[in-house]
Structure 1
Amino acid sequence: MNYKALAKQAIKGKKLSFDEAMQLLKTSDDDTFEFLSAANHIKRAFKGNKVKLCAIVNAKSGKCTENCSFCAQSAHHKANSDIYPLMSDKKIFSAAKKSEEEMMATCFSIVTSGKSIIKKDELATIGTAIKNISKKTSLNRCVSMGTLSKKQIEELKAKGLKRLHHNLETAESFFGNICTTHSYKERLDTIKEAKKAGLEICSGGIFGLGESLEQRLELAFTLRELEVESVPINILNPIKGTPAAKNYKPIKPFEVLRLIATYRFLLPKADIGVFGGREKALRSLQPLMFIAGANVTLIGNYLTTKGRSPEKDLQMINELGLKIDQDN
């Protein structure tokens, strides 16, 4: 396969077919580095040598009514996760300020457990936090709050919200295997409503849940159709007590890198991030995620699991000759 020629076509705007994408995803180990180099060429064309750093705060944790098979916060599972109500707006702002000053984060997301935020006082608290983050930092403001109505989206946007994070998690054809308490359509509807309101969209998935290669591509093609701005790639880090941990089969590092590269070919202009599970999935090959086409990563801790130290991530980025992208 002529990876360089395909990369040039992707840069010029040619959309890869499903069959072409499958050939990329099935690249042999022997040809993987050539494939990654071509993906890096696409990334450089649209993103230069810069990396965006996202940070999150788990602002409300546990007792989620939904039964997503991978999530430790679900009330349906017996995983050991923290349970606490919504943080104050001051505590949320403090976490945002710390992420900017100590971790060089460029985007900050407020994450809450549950299918949605129903209480008006909770929405008001989050709105106040967003307003303060907007006024007192240069961070891109993002929320990950499950299902949101048009009215809620507009209210948060008026406070300074710029981006909605709402993962599709997996392909529509596989979604029923990981969640039965809400539909794929509900997730799509929230994304479409946020796009109508003028928000940027951050949406991706979790891989290693038992989905097929075809379903990994199905998700990518859905995201391409939605024209999302940012795509987070998470690799399952199985948590004891969750259904997803029972039949967990690790994805090999090269397989993860090929997944990243394929998504870069399919979504050449999007921000492609590698978030949860990267340390365990990529191990010593972790720096190669930026060669494979990624230009974003999450710095600091994840939602219910610890990340590695920000100092190590910043060192990795520096040693690769990459720069932190401060343009929001």
Structure 2
Amino acid sequence: MSILDTARTQVLEQGIPLTEEQILDVLRLPEDEISGLMELAHEVRLKYCGEEVEVEGIISLKTGGCPEDCHFCSQSGLFESPVRSVWLDIAQLVEAAKQTAKTGATEFCIVAAVKGPDDKLMAQMEEAVAAIHAEVDIEVAASIGTLTPAQVDRLKAAGVHRYNHNLETARSFFPQVVTTHTWEERRETLRLVAEAGLEVCSGGILGMGETLEQRAEFAAQLAELNPHEVPMNFLDPRPGTPFADHEVMDSRDALRAIGAFRLAMPRTMLRFAGGRELTLGDEGAETGLLGGMNALIAGNYLTTLGRPMEQDLDMMDRLNLPIKVLNKFV
């Protein structure tokens, strides 16, 4: 029996995710079976997640000057990068949230390039979330690095409902990507977030030089988190970083990964994130949304340009994919 036949029975009909070994089989599918994979992944997505697409906008509260050495990131202060350190004020964050909400997005994520928040950043986050909730009907997520239990509790009390902290890559490959902190540190923050009752958002970047075996390992490790959301980024090599000369991931491998991640996490929100424009282009993005993805970041990313929000909204309209609406606000 082929892996797609097995996945149809196991995942679509029984709701049982693929194992790491089975994920690897999907990542090795021949090119002529990619369309079949996309069709199956879309069926799984519709059955277990519905047809709605969640749209999110993100903004960087603090950009650049990060003390960590994530080799893909132009915000590291350790590399010769053109990104300069910038802080936004509360009014700018509120205005960005308003503009995001106007597109129909239900999610607004505040990001800071730090190892973890200090008291100043925590206080600014609390003030920002309160100000946004006072003026905008939108959910607020956060991504501000490694947290302590007390900081998790403060963010939850402030009204943050989802926390992003990417594992970035497979545990076995992580030391080739980051040396200033460990995969285990990231995993511990995610444990604290889940225990506090916040929604867990964790994904990473594909195409950083990992093997197919490590890509399968990564998907399986993410699945173990039982995350609410997994952002899928594809490496966009940034000038000045150690990965600046990496080749862009093959679009066919990207589609295989999208299908494999959906079959590994049938009930999880899979979000198109950075690098999709470079790796997949317009046609590939449409294929991904009809191949298992059910969320996207609209507009620009933290340090790279995305597609104009209007183009993404037009694409979803063309594909007859409804945008998720905010049906509750806490």
Q: Is the 8 A contact 2:55 2:295 kept in 1?
A: yes
Give the TM-score taking structure 1 as reference length: 0.95
Write out aligned runs for 1:161-180 (5 A): 161-180=160-179
CA positional deviation for 1:285: 1.9
The structural deviation recorded for 1:15 is: 3.0
Q: Which structure 2 residue ranges, 5 or more long, are not aligned?
A: none
- For residues 30-69 of structure 1, give each alpha carbon's deviation from its aligned partner in whole angstroms, at most 9, with x where no partner exists: 1110111001000010222211111101111111100010
Residue identity opposite 2:237 in structure 1: P
Aligned-residue CA RMSD in angstroms? 1.3
SS at match of 1:201: strand
Q: Distance in 2 between matches of 1:138 and 1:261?
A: 33
Deviation at 1:20, TM superposition (A): 1.6
Residues 181 and 315 from structure 1, CA distance in 2 versus in 1: closer, same or farther, beyond 3 angstroms?
A: same
Aligned equivalent of 2:243: 244
Cα offset for 1:4?
5.1
User: Is the CA contact (8 Å cut-off) linking 1:32 and 1:258 kept in structure 2?
Assistant: yes
Q: Any residues of structure 2 matched to 1:302-321 within 5 Å, and which? A: 302-321=301-320
Q: By how many angstroms is 1:2 displaced?
A: 5.7
Q: Does 1:156 align with 2:155?
A: yes
Match for residue 222 of structure 1? Answer: 221
- 1:270 paired residue number: 268
| Alignment coverage as a number of residue pairs | 324
Match of 2:324 in 1: 325
Alignment correspondent of 1:70? 72
Residue 212 (structure 1) shift: 0.6
Alignment partner of 1:210 is 2:237: no
AA matched with 2:104:
M
After alignment, is 10-19 or 214-223 more displaced?
A: 10-19
* Residue aligning to 1:259: 257
- Counterpart code for 2:94: F
* Contact in 2 for aligned 1:7/1:39 (Cα 8 Å): no
Of 37, 42, 63, 1:35 maps to 37
Q: Which residue of 2 aligns with 1:96?
A: 97
**Match in the other structure for 1:113:** 113
State the partner residue of 1:51.
53
Deviating beyond 3 angstroms after TM superposition, the runs of 4 or more aligned structure 1 residues are: none
By how many angstroms is 1:22 displaced?
A: 1.2
1:270-326 Cα distance to aligned partner (Å, 9 max, x none):
001111000010013221111110001100110101111111111111000100011
Residue of structure 2 equivalent to 1:25: 27
Question: Separation in 1 of the partners of 2:210 and 2:290?
Answer: 25
Gaps of 5+ in 1: none
Q: What's 2:182 paired with?
A: 183
Instruction: Measure, in 2, the Cα distance between the counterparts of 1:232 and 1:157.
Output: 21
Separation in 1, partners of 2:137, 2:255:
31
SS in 2 for 1:50: coil
> Could you tell me how far 1:256 is from its partner in structure 2?
0.5
Give the AA of the match of 1:257: L
Q: Distance in 2 between matches of 1:137 and 1:167?
A: 27
> Aligned partners of 2:99 and 2:60: how far apart in 1?
14
Q: Secondary structure at the match of 1:109?
A: strand
The separation in 2 between residues aligned to 1:13 and 1:84, in whole angstroms, is 45
* Cα distance in structure 1, aligned partners of 2:136 and 2:215: 36
Letter in 1 for 2:187: L
For the pair 1:140 / 2:139, whether they are aligned, the reply is: yes
Query: Which stretch of the first structure deviates more once superposed, 282-291 or 67-76?
Result: 282-291
Q: Which residue of 2 aligns with 1:279?
A: 277
Report the Cα distance in structure 2 between the residues aligned to 1:156 and 1:250, rounded to whole angstroms: 36
Scaled by the length of structure 2, the TM-score of the pair is 0.95
Task: Report the secondary structure of 1:192's partner residue.
Answer: helix
AA of the residue aligned to 1:250: V
